[in-house]
Structure 1
Amino acid sequence: MASPVMLRIIFGENDSQRLVLSNGMPESVSELVQEIQRQCAVSGDFRLQFMDPEFGNEFTNLVSTSDIQHKSSIKVIFKSVANATPNDSTVCPFSSTATTSSQDDSSSLSSPGSSCDTDILSSPASTSSRTTAWPLVFSIPRFSYDAQLQLDRANKAFIETGAFLNPSIALKSAILDGLTEAIVQHKVYLSDREFDEVAQALVTAHPCLKEPGSATGYGGWKTSLKYKLANYRTKLRQIGCPEVTVNSLKHKPDGKCSPAYGVKKPKKAEVNYCPTYPAGETAETLEQMRVALLSEVKKRNNEQKVAQMMEMTFALRRQEVVQEAPMIAEFKTRWPAVFHVREVSAEFKRITTIPLLPKFFSALDNHSANLMKAFSKKGGEPGRKIRTIIAAITKADNIQVKRECILKALCVYLNEDPEKLVKEYLDTEDSEIALAETVIGISVILHEGAEPGENVENVSIILEGIEVMSELDNVPFAVAMLLGIIYTMNLNYPQELKYFFEVLQKIFLELDGSKLSNKVQVLKTLLSR
């Protein structure tokens, strides 16, 4: 098996990231590009440059991976958008480049009053939000100078003699401190699997630390790391870090004093679940900005200022959502700008670092062919329903109809009811009667005799009997917006559609995609063939 390779990926001034290739150097530049897109969450079209020793380490276009080696520095040059950075939405989902589908009908994605969905980037100057999700391969940091020196010598001795290191208390503490500092750059609550990943990465990077007699070689390190991170969370709670204070006993309901009761932590791969306020800001100053936003959102051609103010108030809004779980009607009154197309996408990106619309539609179109193959093999009553849904594709040569049919067929394939997701009505009166009974879903008003995807009068999103977004033009766009709102409002997936939304999250958007239910794992296996 090839030795792991580590590269330094440079996105711009003071902006770089480690890339770990556990299977060694890719054979082609295109494979390396795919790894950068996957691990660094980069979208858009770009090329790579490497530091060429033949020209005084000046950056030169990379045409072969044979030109680079372990610990090389690679520079990312974006082609489509100037000065783009990781996690930028460099593809406009309303343009013809938003999808890899052969059908060029993406312009119909646009919503009245909306422009290209360029997500607002989190500015380090305005917010303390995290910028990267939990990595696919955890990179072990360099420890303090003396600790690193001891490890380097011990690793050399291990290679020469096979001798393991029995670290002193001081060295072990330094290692755990360094690991904890690296971990909290991504999250403060880890799953058991993620503790395994960190501990395994440690003994892989420093084989002298393997534990003789341990089944895994790192069991003791994993246990120590759990205690260390728990103690670190106690320190964070004492200094008022909202991500952990939200779970303190004083925030528990009366009569529910157990520390384990109702723990609020990321459950859908949120990167910024409950962020701290921007430097120099307080709850009072951000509340004043929220009040000012109520006036700014009513002004014409004021999207940029509204976006900046929404960025600044993200932590206030997010803490309100996580800690208080407000009713939709109340929250919409306090934050009306949240339920605009541009801001749903921007909020989703602030929470996950992933650009919602480009990622969603690109994945949907990329998986369409394999989904159709899987649908064709479904038998029984579900298979009959799927064939009825898919038949509409041949009647209308429209990419939105195809996307809508695939999404509905996906519900049926997962043994869920698409009518729980999309409710169609022939007139407004019928929709108003059912509106109050709808907890979460998409409402479609059709003209009489309309075919799927055609003669649609209105597509809207309903939460708790409230129409929170309307005039969305088509169902696929509404599904993406609904997913964004679920993240924005920290909502659970509807129980009757939990597998459908799991597919959207974990297969389409690749958020926490390594932990799947059995049903979704089977589908993912079929799609990867």
Structure 2
Amino acid sequence: MAPVKLRIILGENNSQRLTLENGIPETVSELVQHIKSQCGVEADFRLQFMDVEFGNEFTNLTSVTEIQDKSTIKLIFDSDSSALPGGSPPPPYSAPTTSRSSDDSLSQTSFDTDILSSPESNSSRSSGWPVFFYVPRFPYDCELELGKANTAFKETGTLLNPEIRLKTAILDSLAEAIVKHKVYPADGEFEAVAEALVSSHPCLKEPGSTTGYDGWKMSLKYKLANYRRKLKRLGCPEVELNSLNNKPADKCSPAFGVKKPRKAEVNYCPAFPSGESVETLEKMRETLLSEVKKRNNEDTVAAMMDKTFAHRRQEVVRDAPMIAHFKTRWPALFCIREVTAEFKRITTVSLVSKFFSGLDAHSSDLIRVFGKKGGAQGRKIRSIMVPISQTNIINVRRECILKALCVYLNEEPKKLVKECTDADVESNQAEMKEMTFGIYAIRKEGAEPEDDPDDVGIILEGVQVLDELGNVPFAVAMLFALVYALNLSYPSELRYTFEALQKIIMELDGNRLSRKAQTLKTLLSRKSSTVE
């Protein structure tokens, strides 16, 4: 039986591919077990499927005959607790190991932890921009007026010309709903809100407008600009950091150096937890310096790192400190457990499970796309992919695909991974000191593809920030997370590779792509939809 792929919606801005190697199971209960196993969901839930007979609205799934290959399924949780993957307490620390089986596709998922359920994180957002924007309920009198107007529209097609009072109330409610997800929405997100508004209340469509909501979209942009001024006066850090008082005197312009989420960060610059201040959180940071040195103290350190997240994040975003200085101030951050936790605080997405499930889901299509490449690039890609034919170790396959991805996007894999041998230690150390961004992998001279590296680590600004990562693919995931944790920009020589990792593999802000990344995504979609 041919494998089947399903799209599983786990929550707002959180979906995942599910691969069923033996086809669709016979019962809904069996499908639920597959979802729990592959997606790491522990809470109880029921399933809904996207029903094409009712305009792609979601309908309760009572029989597996309603779904087929590439169907979309949505999880409806019975309770809010532990709803998303990783809803269990943080697991004990364990060092990464290199998988020796092609079936062990998520060997490092134990590093994903749930930190958003902590009461200390109540100043943070729990989800990003929703897949579908839900229009909030307006004040009671506005709902009555809109209900009456919607009825008239259905009966006679009469459009409502809202009074200033009604329009202001609508825009105020929408602005409050928007900032729950983003303070700086993109143009497409403004459009999604305006479209959702006229879909929910068709009487508000604008005559003479191409889309029926162009005017609403523009009004929302002005409303958000005014709303941000209000938030600034109230001390919202995400807005306050862009005030003119925080900009150089010679470049004191509202448009200069605007700091805002650019890589789908959900908690870009959060406010301090209730009852906390710079002074109290700085004292906790100083306490962390001693706590991190104690043995078997990971849970205490994790709780303190969670509570000081806003303090640390504001420091990173406002001051952009050098890596060496920041590592001295926050040494607890620079370990596998805390890097993955920090990534989840920022994006609400589980790093390791999402990274490797996304990479493995695309691997076959990526290999097919790479195989079509000709010329010097094609020859280089084929040379990189040779180890895949020599061993079935999953991490060897992943490493080859990641390096080939660099070449396919006209970038140099050596800029991502610096390969070293154990023969010349002094030369290796000198080269590492010159590295500003990348991964090093030290192997024995003459090592075979299936042999583990002696050491794999990450260097930023000449500083070794992580080591003993086990294998290159895991190091790539950690480097990707560090970009978020330290608020770094993608290096120009690897910008397309990291864009592909973010928007195609991790599905973070996957609707706005560069030409290169969009071309790759289109080719992958065509391949996955081709019947062989």
> What is the CA distance between 1:74 and its match in structure 2?
7.5
d(CA) in 1 for partners of 2:419 and 2:187? Answer: 43
Give the secondary-structure state (helix, strand or coil) at the position aligned to 2:250. Answer: coil
CA displacement at 1:66 relative to structure 2: 11
Distance of 1:124 and 1:310 partners within structure 2: 13
Mapping 1:188-199, distance limit 5 Å: 188-199=183-194
Query: Is 2:505 aligned against 1:508?
Result: yes
With over 3 angstroms needed to count, the CA separation of the structure-2 counterparts of 1:264 and 1:402, relative to structure 1, is same
For residue 22 of structure 1, what is the aligned residue in structure 2?
none
8 Å CA contact 2:43–2:82 kept in 1: the answer is no
- Name stretches of at least 5 consecutive residues in structure 2 with no aligned partner: 1-8, 15-23, 49-59, 67-73
The alpha-carbon deviation at position 214 of structure 1 amounts to 1.0
Tell me the matched-pair count.
Answer: 478
Query: Pick from 417, 428, 439: which aligns with 1:422?
Result: 417
1:215 to 185, 210, 214: 210
Q: Is the 8 A contact 1:127 1:312 kept in 2?
A: no
Map Cα deviations across residues 174-205 of structure 1 (whole Å, 9 max, x no partner). Answer: 10011001000001111111111111111111
Q: Secondary structure at the match of 1:511?
A: coil
Residue-by-residue CA offset, 1:344-370 (whole Å, 9 max, x unaligned) = 100000000000000000011111111
Q: Is the 8 A contact 2:47 2:75 kept in 1?
A: yes
Q: Match of 2:21?
A: none
Give the C-alpha shift of residue 47 in structure 1.
5.8
Which residue of the partner structure matches residue 44 of structure 1? 41
Matched residues in 2 for 1:150 and 1:102: separation?
63
Amino acid at match of 2:421: L
* Match of residue 443, structure 1, among 398, 423, 440: 440
Aligned to 1:465: 462
- Partner residue in 2 for 1:282: 277
Contact between 2:86 and 2:112, CA under 8 Å: does it hold in 1? no
Q: List aligned pairs for 1:373-452, cutoff 5 A.
A: 373-427=368-422, 428-452=425-449
- Cα–Cα, structure 1 residues 257 and 128, in superposed 2: closer, same or farther, change >3 Å? same
Asked if the contact 2:120–2:306 (Cα under 8 Å) also holds between the matched residues in 1, the reply is no
**Is contact 1:89–1:355 with CA below 8 Å preserved after alignment?**
no
Q: Which residue of 2 aligns with 1:84?
A: 82
Measure, in 2, the Cα distance between the counterparts of 1:473 and 1:360.
16
Q: Deviations 1:67-94 (Å, cap 9, x if unpaired)?
A: 9xxxxx974269xxx95223536799x9
Deviation at 1:125, TM superposition (A): 4.5
**1:72-120: CA deviation from partner (whole Å, max 9, x where unpaired):** x974269xxx95223536799x99xx9x99823458659xxxx643343
Q: In the alignment, what sits opposite 1:353? A: 348
- SS at 1:424 equivalent: strand
- For the pair 1:364 / 2:363, whether they are aligned, the reply is no
- Post-superposition Cα deviations, 1:25-53, rounded to whole Å, max 9, x if no partner, equal xx9998xx99xx9xxxx8536663389xx
- Once the two structures are overlaid, the 10-residue window that deviates more, 482-491 or 300-309, is 300-309
Residue 282 of structure 1 aligns to which amino acid in structure 2?
S
CA distance in 1 between counterparts of 2:205 and 2:132 reads 19
Quickly say closer, same or farther: Cα 1:87–1:263, change in 2 above 3 A.
farther
2:133 maps to 1:138: yes
2:303 is aligned to: 308
**Shift of residue 63 of structure 1?**
2.7
| C-alpha spacing 1:140/1:359, structure 2 compared with 1 (3 Å) | same
Q: Distance in 2 between matches of 1:101 and 1:233?
A: 52
- Does the 8 Å CA contact 1:140/1:179 hold for their aligned counterparts? yes
Structure 1 residues 347-394: Cα deviation after superposition (integer angstroms, max 9, x where no partner): 000000000000000011111111110111110011111111111112
User: In structure 1, what is the Cα distance between the partners aligned to 2:450 and 2:434?
Assistant: 25
My pick for the range that moved more, 214-223 or 158-167, is: 214-223
How far apart in 1 are the matches of 2:76 and 2:196? 25
Deviation at 1:149, TM superposition (A): 1.2
- Tell me the amino acid that sits aligned with residue 269 of structure 2: C
Say which SS state the counterpart of residue 434 (structure 2) adopts. coil
- In structure 2, the partner of 1:328 is 323
- Secondary structure of the corresponding residue to residue 332 of structure 2: helix
Partner of 2:227: 232
Decide whether the 8 Å contact of 2:42 with 2:83 is kept in 1. Answer: no
**AA of the residue aligned to 1:103:** S
Give the 3 Å change call, closer, same or farther, for CA 75–368 of structure 1 in structure 2: closer
**Separation in 2 of the partners of 1:467 and 1:505?**
23
Distance verdict in 2 for CA 1:77–1:220, change over 3 Å: closer
Give distance in 2, aligned partners of 1:322 and 1:359: 25
Structure 1's 17 and 508: CA in aligned 2 closer, same or farther, altered over 3 A?
A: closer
Task: Supply the distance in 2 between the matched residues of 1:107 and 1:447 (Cα, whole angstroms).
Answer: 26
Instruction: Classify the secondary structure of the residue corresponding to 2:392.
Output: coil
CA distance in 2, matches of 1:74, 1:460: 38
Give, in angstroms, the shift of residue 137 of structure 1: 1.7
Give the whole-Å Cα distance in 2 for the aligned partners of 1:210 and 1:186.
Answer: 25
The CA distance in 2 between the partners of 1:409 and 1:74, in whole Å, is: 35
Corresponding residue of 1:178: 173
Query: Which letter does structure 2 place at the counterpart of 1:494?
Result: P
Partner residue, 1:121: 116
SS at match of 2:62: coil
8 A contact 2:456–2:471 mirrored in 1: yes
Q: Does the 8 Å CA contact 1:420/1:497 hold for their aligned counterparts? A: yes
**One-letter amino acid matched to 1:297:** V
Unaligned runs of 5+ in 1: 1-8, 20-26, 52-60, 68-72
1:55 aligned residue:
none
Cα distance in 1 between the residues matched to 2:194 and 2:212: 9
Normalising by structure 2, we get a TM-score of 0.83
Instruction: Determine the structure 1 residue equivalent to 2:5.
Output: none
Partner SS, residue 456 of structure 1: coil
Contact 1:447–1:457 under 8 Å retained in 2? yes
CA 1:399–1:18 in structure 2 vs 1: closer, same or farther (change >3 Å)?
closer
Query: Contact 2:355–2:505 at 8 Å: present in 1 too?
Result: yes
Distance 1:387 1:244 in 2: 49
> Does the aligned pair in 2 maintain the 1:345–1:355 contact within 8 Å?
yes
Report what 2:146 is aligned to.
151
Percent identity, aligned pairs only, is 59
Q: Distance in 1 between matches of 2:346 and 2:391?
A: 37
Partners of 1:304 and 1:466 in 2: CA distance: 26
Q: Secondary structure at the match of 1:139?
A: coil
DSSP-derived class of the 2:46 partner: strand
After superposition, the CA RMSD in angstroms is 3.3
Matched-pair contact (CA < 8 Å) for 2:452–2:471: no
Change (3 A) 1:354 1:109: closer
Q: 1:139 and 1:221 mapped to 2: Cα distance?
A: 16
User: 1:266/1:87 Cα in 2 relative to 1: closer, same or farther (>3 Å)?
Assistant: farther
| DSSP-derived class of the 1:128 partner | coil
TM-score by length of 1: 0.84
CA shift for structure 1 position 431: 1.9
How much does 1:445 deviate?
1.0
Task: Tell me how far apart the structure 2 counterparts of residues 144 and 77 of structure 1 sit (CA, whole Å).
Answer: 29
Q: 1:253 — aligned with what? A: 248
Name 2:195's counterpart in structure 1: 200
Partner Cα separation in structure 1 for residue 87 and residue 222 of structure 2: 39
How far apart in 1 are the matches of 2:158 and 2:312?
54
- Alignment of 1:486 with 2:483, yes or no, is yes
Shift of 1:423: 0.2
Query: How far apart in 2 are the matches of 1:219 and 1:174?
Result: 18
